[in-house]
Structure 1
Amino acid sequence: MARGDHQNDDDDFMDPPQRNRATRRRKEGDEKKKRIHNRASQERLTVLIDKFTDDQKGAAAEMGMQVLMDVRCTNLVNPVCDWLGEIYEPPSREFVIPGRGRLPLNEESMFCNLGVPRGHIKVPYEVNNEIEEELFAHLFPGLESMPNTSILADSLQAMTTHGDVFKMKLLMYLISVVFAPTTSLRPSNKCFPILANLKNVKNMNWCKFIADFLHDAFKNKMYQKGCRLHLMLMYVDGLDLSTVDFTGVGGPPPTHKFAVSAWTISVVNAVLAADRATDGTYGKLQLMAKHAIDYSVFGGPQKFGKWMDVHSAPSCPSEARAPVEHLIGQFASGMTGLLGKLVEGSQEPGDTQDDVDGDAGLNKDDDDDTDNVHQDIDDDEHAEVRTGENKGKDATVAHPPEKVKEHTAVRGEGVLPSRRGRAPEDVGQGSHGKWSKTDPVARGNGEPTAGG
């Protein structure tokens, strides 16, 4: 479809061909109709970037797109993107993973995945005929209509310069295949106002633009429209990967600031294989703790839904109910965690009087002397350690401080926190946390005795 002056992206979506329900064959006359298909080409994008010169990558960085120049994933897994579109809740702008939790569609999530600019200027993605006429001949001399996206990619690949024309074509390509792809074979003419303001591209809020574009598409059930790279990375990067077998794919993704520069398609496939259910959907793996919601206080997510049905008015629309469900789910999840900690804390052994007296006798010198001591504590945490005067008795004999420090240096370990949960960074800082009585340093004046 050639781009005209009155182009609207909604026209990019054609009804899928009708099929006979019994034979599953297309009805007569529909053979030439195209199926709905997202035109994002992740493989072509990575091939292009791989062939860019350093100067061309530098030009991308000048527009704030340097993170995308490190993209590692060469393909998209469309089934998981389709599934995410189906479980999206427009009122809360969240992907609701059944029985697992929720993943938000917002600027923060977009920035963490793609690393695109998050500035203060709205992305001017709109039709402007005057700007289009001015820039079109400059970008595509000799053409009368918008070229196919594949031709735009060929033009980019053939370029050896890195000036404004390169920047405009690169930006148009990124919008067409990454940020806001549609089902059209051609880039949208709504890109031109953005290209006309090239110097401010890095100050535009691309995170909001991409998130809003996806939201509007999914709200209108146009699941093939929008940034599929974000969808895929958002999901796999939000999963708990502790049970995934990464044998043969080089291990899990490295620690990263932006998901786009860490995930390869082989690692994505390994994670999704472990997450896929027998019915073809996803959601077997747990979400990371920050995204998970624990419904166990209600007996599980299904019973939580029934509980909401009982306590909601029949006339309450789903749009009004969604944020309330999310709020109650978060509250219930937090309460479950707090109650668990309460039970765990109630089962810890209480302090003895010896512990209290021993703690009161510690002074700052004792703290300083034990900065580098490594303690191997037995199951009996109340065993007393004595020095010189107890030799020959049934008591545990402490090593001299010099030998203890030598032992610590060999093992390369720091001071262990006490069994009461003392944080390691507090040790030796003069704080008032409790110490184990298995201190091998003599208590008198902090110096070893003659017998030590």
Structure 2
Amino acid sequence: MSEAQRKLVSDAGFGGLLEIGSGRLPSALSKWLVKNVDGESEELVIPGRGKIKVNAAAVNRILGLPMGEDEVKYEFNGSAISFINEKCSFDNGRSPAITTITERLCANKEANDDYLRCWLMVAISTFLCGSTALCISPKCYPSLVDLSKVKELNWCKFVVDTLKGSVGKMHKKDSVLGCLYFLSILYLDSLEVGNIQVPEKQPRVAAWNMKLINKVIKMDTNTNGTFGKLKLKKLAGSVTETSLFGDFQDIDNFISHRASAPMSSKKKRKLSEVVKKACIGFTEVIGTFISEVSTISDDSEDQEEPRRSTRRRTTKNHQQNVDDEDEEIEEDEEEEDWKEDEDEDEEDEEADKEAELEDKEVDKEVELEDKSVSDEDDATNIVDPPLEVVPSQSKRERLR
């Protein structure tokens, strides 16, 4: 890029982007920051530390982009697409690849409209509204038709709106659309970095090279790999503390009033630091809990009712099966009782038959005995009065 071309970009209001050095930010930090963005309040909420304003003023301070009166048109527009395709000699119906436009920029040695228009296409598609797409998005064409009015557009608000929309759809997609570089520099520039010297340059992106970025990220990394170890500094009201226990100054006052005996300033300061760490830790735990709960979709509550109704149907079916089994058991028991009664009746009939046979045998024996006695009397010619045969009766009784 020649000096004339750099001046062309700067005059359009995008000179701050030329201050960005080479290198890539850790993706882990970007993902962590996106999860902590509150789109409704336009704030970056750091658990236990505070809130950082993510608004158009913050974008202007960090990137130095134009913050004009008119809105950036990022949409499909037939006339704009036809104009750009004809002006840049693009194939109709096809979006040019980003690599094709970058090659075109390198080949163009002039500081003309074609260079500025192509440069803005790449800046929007890869940085301001970055995505995983490999082609230029035709949505950016409407804002690039009249290059003289580019500076009058509110590109700062455009960056914020894109991030807010991306955060709202983050649970549906793995990729994040938006200027994550701005979000990272905004966060790093809001940290208390101790004795590390951060240059006082404007826009703020010019003060952060990759060496400084990596150093501060390392300082802000907790032992478990998460971020948020460093405290936030107050930047003209852009940062607000969000502790469950109020402002940390209140903790110092609380210790002074609750101490049972006078303490030295050194001891009070040490005690205050311990209490603050405890408050921060507890606030982080509660903040993490709230963040996790807030990500639960409302649809899960609507799905509970069908589960309960299914459970009730399952229980009802189970109860019906149990009732059917009970009926089968009762029928089996009744059948067994009937068989037992039938068997008992058969046994009684057999017993009656045996008793009847025994009676017949006894009667035969009695008749034979009576006959034998009668024969003996006839043989001796003794005439005796008829006797009652008692023994035969007793024998019958004995036999019975």
Q: Tell me the TM-score normalised to structure 2 length.
A: 0.59
Aligned residues: 255
Equivalent of 1:136, from 71, 81, 85? 85
* Counterpart-to-counterpart distance in 2, 1:307 and 1:75: 32
Is the 1:73–1:260 contact (alpha carbons within 8 Å) kept by the matching residues of 2?
no
Q: Tell me by how many angstroms 1:163 deviates.
A: 1.1
Q: Tell me by how many angstroms 1:302 deviates.
A: 6.5
* Counterpart-to-counterpart distance in 2, 1:186 and 1:57: 24
| Greater RCO (CA < 8 Å, at least 6 residues apart) | 2
- Specify the structure having the higher radius of gyration (Cα): 2
* Counterpart-to-counterpart distance in 1, 2:195 and 2:121: 40
Equivalent of 2:141, from 178, 182, 192? 192
Aligned ranges 1:255-270 → 2 under 5 Å: 255-270=200-215
2:127 matches 1:178: yes
Q: Which residue of 2 aligns with 1:55?
A: 4
Give CA deviations for 1:287-320 in whole Å, capped at 9, x if unaligned: 1134251637367257669999xxxxxxxx99xx
Equivalent of 2:179, from 224, 227, 245? 227
CA shift in 2, pair 1:143/1:129, >3 Å:
closer
Q: Tell me by how many angstroms 1:76 deviates.
A: 2.4
Amino acid at match of 1:209: F
Q: Which residue of 2 aligns with 1:108?
A: 57
Is the 1:286–1:292 contact (alpha carbons within 8 Å) kept by the matching residues of 2?
no
* Counterpart-to-counterpart distance in 1, 2:5 and 2:132: 28
* Counterpart-to-counterpart distance in 2, 1:112 and 1:146: 33
* Counterpart-to-counterpart distance in 2, 1:173 and 1:307: 42
Q: Which residue of 2 aligns with 1:13?
A: none
Q: Which protein has the bigger helix share?
A: 2
* Counterpart-to-counterpart distance in 2, 1:259 and 1:74: 17
* Counterpart-to-counterpart distance in 1, 2:42 and 2:10: 30
CA shift in 2, pair 1:304/1:264, >3 Å:
closer
Partner SS, residue 62 of structure 2:
helix
CA shift in 2, pair 1:297/1:191, >3 Å:
closer
Q: Which residue of 1 aligns with 2:188?
A: 236
2:260 matches 1:281: no
Q: Which residue of 1 aligns with 2:386?
A: none
Q: Tell me by how many angstroms 1:199 deviates.
A: 0.8
Q: Tell me the TM-score normalised to structure 1 length.
A: 0.52
Partner SS, residue 14 of structure 2:
coil
Q: Which residue of 1 aligns with 2:376?
A: none
Equivalent of 2:111, from 159, 162, 172? 162
Percent pairwise identity: 27
* Counterpart-to-counterpart distance in 1, 2:226 and 2:284: 20
Partner SS, residue 157 of structure 1:
helix
Is the 1:122–1:204 contact (alpha carbons within 8 Å) kept by the matching residues of 2?
yes
Amino acid at match of 2:180: R
Give CA deviations for 1:90-143 in whole Å, capped at 9, x if unaligned: 232212111111112101111111000001010111111122112213214467
Partner SS, residue 256 of structure 1:
coil
Amino acid at match of 2:107: A
CA shift in 2, pair 1:254/1:167, >3 Å:
same
Q: Which residue of 1 aligns with 2:66?
A: 117
CA shift in 2, pair 1:296/1:219, >3 Å:
closer
Could you list the runs of 4 or more consecutive aligned residues of structure 1 that deviate by over 3 angstroms after TM superposition? 140-144, 296-299, 301-308
Is the 1:76–1:228 contact (alpha carbons within 8 Å) kept by the matching residues of 2?
no
**What are structure 2's unaligned runs of at least 5 residues?**
247-277, 288-293, 296-400
Amino acid at match of 2:233: M
